[in-house]
Amino acid sequence: MNAALLAADLPYWAQALLRVLGGVVAVLLPAGTIVYVFLFKMMSFMQSRLGPMEAGPYGSMQLFAEVGKWLQKEDITPERADRFIFKIAPLVVLVSTFLLVAVVPFGPDAWFTNFEAGVFYMLAVSSVSVLGILIAGWASANKYSLLGGLRAAGQLIAYELPMVLAVIGVIIQAGTMNLQDIVFAQNAGSMFGWDGLGNPYILTQFVGFIIFMIAVQAELTQTPFDMPIAESELVSGYMTEYSGFRFLTFFIAEFATAGVFSLIASVLFLGGWGIPFAWFGWDTMDSVDNWMNVVGPLIMFTKMMLLSFIIMWVRFSYPRFREDQLQRFAWKVLVPVSLVNIMITAILKVAF
Amino acid sequence: MLAADLLVAQNIGFGIIALLMIVGALRVVTVNNVVHAALWLVVVLSGAAAQYLLLSAEFVAITQVLVYVGAVMVLFLFGTMLTRARIGAENDLNNKNWKIAIPVSLLMLGVMSWVIVDGFQDEKLIENPGEMSQVPIQLISDDIFGPYLLPFWALSFVLLVAVIGAIVLARKD
């Protein structure tokens, strides 16, 4: 973004339109990339097969073929279902994803909204998707769907707590809940006076990072936390009765949320869009050069791919937790460990 | 004069959200399905969050979403779906005492309106919204952990007692 473009004063509606377009890109692009690169190709390679090869070179057009396939399918509503709620449930889940991306900063000026309580907002909005999953399970008028929805709700409530507690360590260390300021604190920081790498919180908050990634895995209901859609017992859980476009919405929401959570984790723990500011001698937010607005999103995208690679890697490698193991793990391991992490972080923060 | 004062974006937004909340609140008590009632309650509570945002109290707004929409309502739905949530209309949802509830809620409305009107008089929250669009969260936390530390502790103990009570009730042995 050059100076002339920055100086241009867009009317409110144009800014709003640009933000909506940017939000759609920021949600759908990671989702599409994750599905093609990891779900289609990486999973196939891990299982010693080629994956989709027909549509386009190396099957790269497979995504469009899939979307076309889902759009053609009949949109079936079960006869006994609660029609209206059945129909809006996937949209509630997708809306939660779109609200989530609104606080992610992609560059010094490339953000949708610079929210003072960004981290807090992120945690609040991500819990809205539970509602969508619950009512999807209930409205389907199907025992398996209802069980899947209830399992999902129980799991998401249990893992929301460690996620909140894991993030608190970062907030204490940065002294702010604004995601943009957290990026700044990491890139302008220094480790024992050496500022060549900034101070990415993955080093000081490694425990928090691990807990956050485990909680994200559970929030996304990816294996090993996929009790809600356990296909050997529940068909496919709360999604059982969905077909066509509405199934596609659930599917997009699942992988878009994986992408958005990876973006947020990279902001919280890996330094976000920034490169260590000492390299170019930037010392305030305003002194960051404008070309970072172009390079920043690319850096974010790289980190997003790295983190979602880990999510997918775990997904394809581990067997499923049992329901009681899953709850026990959240309440008896993750919550105490993250509380201790908060305590140690607070003590160190006061001491230094 | 009236129109010039009232026809600002905030007031129009307030009106639309307030209308939605009133309709939602009425539907909570009139629909004949437990889950539908709970979902109308979600509309009312999210409306309250939107009103807080209009008052530029974003911290309270987000807390409202996190606590009420994300946790309380999910637990409501979870509980009803585990026990008695049927699809379709039910007839025996009305409590016998619903007539008493009307004067009680009208009284509540009167008392709360009087408290708010009496408490603020002609005072405006922010004279010039452009100057200070949001209260920094640091100020809120300084207040909670400074002058209001004792009430905060008292509340924490109440919650702790509730948690212990829940565990005692839930344990069979």
A85 touches chain B (CB under 8 A): yes
Q: How far apart are CA B167 and CA A31, in angstroms?
A: 41
pLDDT at B19: 92
Contact in structure between A79 and A234 (CB atoms under 8 Å): no
Which alpha helices (H) appear in chain A, and where do they start and end? Answer: 3-7, 12-33, 43-46, 62-72, 83-101, 118-126, 128-139, 143-174, 179-188, 201-204, 206-219, 231-234, 244-269, 292-317, 323-328, 335-351
Q: Which two tokens stand for residue A52?
A: 């989709």
Spell out which residues of chain A touch residue B42, defining contact as CB-CB under 8 Å. 131
pLDDT at B128: 54
Q: Is the domain of B57 the same as that of B103?
A: yes
Give the closest-approach CA distance of B116 to chain A in angstroms. Answer: 27
pLDDT at B164: 92
Model confidence at B44, pLDDT cuts 50, 70, 90, reads: very high
Q: How far apart are CA B66 and CA A31, in angstroms?
A: 25
pLDDT at A1: 39
CA distances from A332 to A239, A335, B84 (A): 30, 6, 31
Top-confidence residue, A201 or B21: B21
Residue B86: pLDDT over 80: no
Classified as helix, coil or strand, A105 is strand
- 8 Å CB contact of A124 and B137: no
Q: Is the domain of B80 the same as that of B162?
A: no
Mean pLDDT of A35-57: 85
Backbone angles phi, psi at B151, to 5 degrees: -55, -35
- 8 Å CB contact of B81 and A150: yes
Half-sphere exposure of A104 (CA within 13 A, CB side): 30
Tell me whether 0.85 is exceeded by the ipTM. no
Structural domain boundaries of chain A? 9-351
Q: Is the domain of B85 the same as that of B44?
A: yes
Spell out which residues of chain B touch residue A132, defining contact as CB-CB under 8 Å. none
Backbone angles phi, psi at A92, to 5 degrees: -60, -45
Q: Is the domain of B143 the same as that of B122?
A: no
Reading phi first (left if > 0) and then psi (alpha if -120 to 50, else beta), residue B134 is in: beta
Residue B133: pLDDT over 70: no
Q: Is the domain of B106 the same as that of B166?
A: no
Q: Is the domain of B51 the same as that of B105?
A: yes
Q: Is the domain of B56 the same as that of B75?
A: yes
Q: Is the domain of B104 the same as that of B153?
A: no
Q: Which of the residue ranges A18-22, A280-284, B86-90 has the most confident prediction, judged by mean pLDDT?
A: A18-22
Contacts of A95 (CB under 8 A, 6+ apart): A128, A132
Contacts of B143 (CB under 8 A, 6+ apart): none
Q: For the packed helices A244-269 and A62-72, what is the interaxial angle rounded to 10 degrees?
A: 140
A219 touches chain B (CB under 8 A): no
Mean pLDDT of A45-71: 85
Model confidence at A325, pLDDT cuts 50, 70, 90, reads: confident
Query: Per-residue b/e over A243-262, b at no fewer than 16 CB within 10 Å?
Result: eeebbbbbbbbbbbbbbbbb
pLDDT at B3: 60
Give the closest-approach CA distance of B70 to chain A in angstroms. Answer: 5
Q: Is the domain of B150 the same as that of B70?
A: no
Q: Scanning every residue of chain B, which has its alpha carbon at the shortest distance from the alpha carbon of A124? A: B66
Residue B65: pLDDT over 80: yes
B66 vs A116, A127, A146: nearest CB: A127
Question: Percent of chain B beyond pLDDT 70?
Answer: 87
Q: What is the mean pLDDT of chain B?
A: 82
pLDDT at A118: 83
CATH number of the domain residue B119 falls in: 1.20.120.1200
- Residue with token string 């539908």: B36
pLDDT at B104: 92
Spell out which residues of chain B touch residue A81, defining contact as CB-CB under 8 Å. 87
Q: Is the domain of B73 the same as that of B155?
A: no
Give the closest-approach CA distance of B108 to chain A in angstroms. Answer: 29
Model confidence at B156, pLDDT cuts 50, 70, 90, reads: very high
Contacts of A68 (CB under 8 A, 6+ apart): none
Model confidence at A7, pLDDT cuts 50, 70, 90, reads: very low
Q: How far apart are CA B111 and CA B104, in angstroms?
A: 11
Model confidence at A220, pLDDT cuts 50, 70, 90, reads: confident
Q: How far apart are CA A278 and CA A191, in angstroms?
A: 12
Residue B131: pLDDT over 60: no
pLDDT at B158: 95
The residue of B74, B86, B132 whose CB has the most chain A CBs within 10 angstroms, and thus the best one to mutate to test that interface, is B74
pLDDT at B160: 94
Scan residues 150-179 of A and list those with Cβ closer than 8 Å to B: 150, 153-154, 156-157, 160, 176-177
Q: How many residues does chain B have?
A: 173
**Into how many domains does chain B fold?**
2
Backbone angles phi, psi at A75, to 5 degrees: -90, 95
pLDDT at B80: 84
What is the signed CA dihedral for A185, A189, A192, A195, rounded to 10 degrees? Answer: 160
Mean pLDDT of A12-27: 82
A127 vs B59, B71, B136: nearest CB: B71
Give the closest-approach CA distance of A136 to chain B in angstroms. Answer: 12
A42 touches chain B (CB under 8 A): no
Model confidence at B135, pLDDT cuts 50, 70, 90, reads: low
> CA A98, A124, B19: angle at the middle one, nearest 5?
80
Q: How far apart are CA A37 and CA A118, in angstroms?
A: 30
Top-confidence residue, B41 or B140: B41
Q: Which amino acid is at A83?
A: R
Mean pLDDT of B146-151: 89
pLDDT at A3: 43
Q: How far apart are CA A104 and CA A92, in angstroms?
A: 20
Closest CA to A84 of A236, A246, A252: A246
Contact in structure between A317 and A227 (CB atoms under 8 Å): no
Q: What is the mean pLDDT of chain A?
A: 83
Residue A205: pLDDT over 80: yes
pLDDT digits (tens, 9 = 90+) for A166-192: 888 888 888 888 888 888 888 877 777
Spell out which residues of chain A touch residue B74, defining contact as CB-CB under 8 Å. 127, 130-131, 134, 153, 156-157
For residue B40, the enclosing domain spans 2-90+99-134
- 8 Å CB contact of B137 and A149: no
Q: How far apart are CA A203 and CA A192, in angstroms?
A: 13
pLDDT digits (tens, 9 = 90+) for A265-296: 998 888 888 777 777 777 777 777 777 778 88
pLDDT at A271: 82
Q: Is the domain of B120 the same as that of B69?
A: yes
> CA A174, A175, A177: angle at the middle one, nearest 5?
85
